[in-house]
Structure 1
Amino acid sequence: MTPLRTHSTLAAVAVLSLVLTACGTRLDHDTIVRAAAGNGQAGTGEGTGETLPGADGAADGSSGEAAAGDSGGSGSTGGRGGESDENGGRSGGSGTSGGESNGGKTKGGSTIVIGSVGTYSGPGGVAFAQGPRALQAWAAAVNAKGGIDGRRVQVIVMDDGADAAKGRSQVQELVEERKAVAIVASFTTTHTLAAWKSYVEKKKVPVVGGDCSTTLWSNSPMMFSQCPASATAMDGLVNIGAKYGKGKKIGGLICTESDACSHAGNHVFGDGRAAERFGLDPVYQAKISLTQPDYTAECIQARNAGVELLMVTGDPNTVARVASSCRRQNFTPQFLQPGATVAADTAAKPGLSDALASMPVFPFAGASSSAISEFDAAWKKYGGGRAAGPAAAQGWASAKVFEKAARGADDISRAGLVKELYTFRGERFGGLTVPLGYVAGKGTTDSKCTFFMRGSGGKWTAPSSGKPVCW
Structure 2
Amino acid sequence: MFGHLLRRLPVVSAVAALVVLAAAACSSGGSSAAGSSGAGAAPIKIGAICTCSGFSSETAMVSTYKAWVAQTNAAGGINGHQLQLLVEDDAGNPGKSVTAAHTLVGKHVLAIVDMTNDDETWASYVAAAKIPVVGGGTSTTPMFTNPDFYPEGQTEQALFPSIVQSAKTAGATNLGLIYCAEAVQCQEGIQPLKDTGKSLGLPVVYAGEVSATAPNYTAQCVAAKQAGVTALFVADITAVAEKVAGDCAQQGYHPIYVVDGEILANQFLTAPGLKDSLVSPSPNLPYFADAPAVTAMNTALDKYAPGLRTNATDFTEIADEGWVSGLLFGAAAKAGGLGAGGGEPTSAQLVAGLTALKGETLDGFAPPLTFAAGKAHPIGCWFVTEVKAGAFSVPNGTTPTCVTTQ
Q: Tell me: CA distance 1:383–1:465, structure 2 relative to 1, closer, same or farther (3 Å).
A: same
Q: Which residue of 2 aligns with 1:275?
A: 197
Q: Which residue of 1 aligns with 2:155?
A: 229
| 1:260 maps to 2:192 | no
| 1:180 maps to 2:109 | yes
CA contact (8 A) 1:345 1:459 kept: no
C-alpha distance in structure 2 between counterparts of 1:85 and 1:438, whole Å: 28
Task: Give per-residue Cα distances to partners, 1:291-347, cap 9 Å, x unaligned.
Answer: 212101110111111111111111000111111111111112121111123323223
User: Which deviates the most, 329-338 or 418-427?
Assistant: 418-427
| 1:119 maps to 2:51 | yes
Give the total of aligned pairs.
391
| 1:364 maps to 2:294 | no
Matched to 2:289, the amino acid is G
Q: Which residue of 1 aligns with 2:353?
A: 420
Q: Which residue of 2 aligns with 1:242?
A: 168
| 1:148 maps to 2:75 | no
1:18 Cα deviation after fit? 4.0
C-alpha distance in structure 2 between counterparts of 1:44 and 1:376, whole Å: 23
Q: Which residue of 2 aligns with 1:251?
A: 176
| 1:170 maps to 2:100 | yes
C-alpha distance in structure 2 between counterparts of 1:43 and 1:313, whole Å: 27
| 1:448 maps to 2:380 | yes
Task: Give 5+ residue unaligned stretches, structure 1.
Answer: 1-9, 23-34, 52-56, 66-82, 87-94, 100-108
Q: Which residue of 2 aligns with 1:5?
A: none
Q: Tell me: CA distance 1:18–1:84, structure 2 relative to 1, closer, same or farther (3 Å).
A: closer
| 1:42 maps to 2:42 | no
Q: TM-score normalized by structure 2?
A: 0.89
C-alpha distance in structure 2 between counterparts of 1:46 and 1:231, whole Å: 31
Cα RMSD over matched residues?
2.5
The match for 1:314 among 232, 236, 243 is 236
| 1:351 maps to 2:279 | no
1:376 Cα deviation after fit? 2.0
C-alpha distance in structure 1 between counterparts of 2:156 and 2:386, whole Å: 21
Q: Which residue of 2 aligns with 1:92?
A: none
Matched to 2:327, the amino acid is K
Task: Give per-residue Cα distances to partners, 1:338-363, cap 9 Å, x unaligned.
Answer: 11233232232111012111111111
CA contact (8 A) 2:144 2:379 kept: no
Q: Percent identity?
A: 28
Q: Which residue of 1 aligns with 2:341?
A: none
Runs of 4+ displaced beyond 6 Å:
none
CA contact (8 A) 1:58 1:158 kept: no
Matched to 1:41, the amino acid is A
Classify the secondary structure of the residue corresponding to 2:18: coil
C-alpha distance in structure 1 between counterparts of 2:28 and 2:149, whole Å: 22
Classify the secondary structure of the residue corresponding to 2:177: strand
Task: Give 5+ residue unaligned stretches, structure 2.
Answer: 310-314, 339-344
| 1:201 maps to 2:127 | yes
1:200 Cα deviation after fit? 0.4
C-alpha distance in structure 1 between counterparts of 2:34 and 2:323, whole Å: 20
| 1:468 maps to 2:400 | yes
Q: Tell me: CA distance 1:203–1:21, structure 2 relative to 1, closer, same or farther (3 Å).
A: farther
The match for 1:304 among 214, 218, 226 is 226
Q: Which residue of 2 aligns with 1:16?
A: 6
C-alpha distance in structure 2 between counterparts of 1:289 and 1:414, whole Å: 44
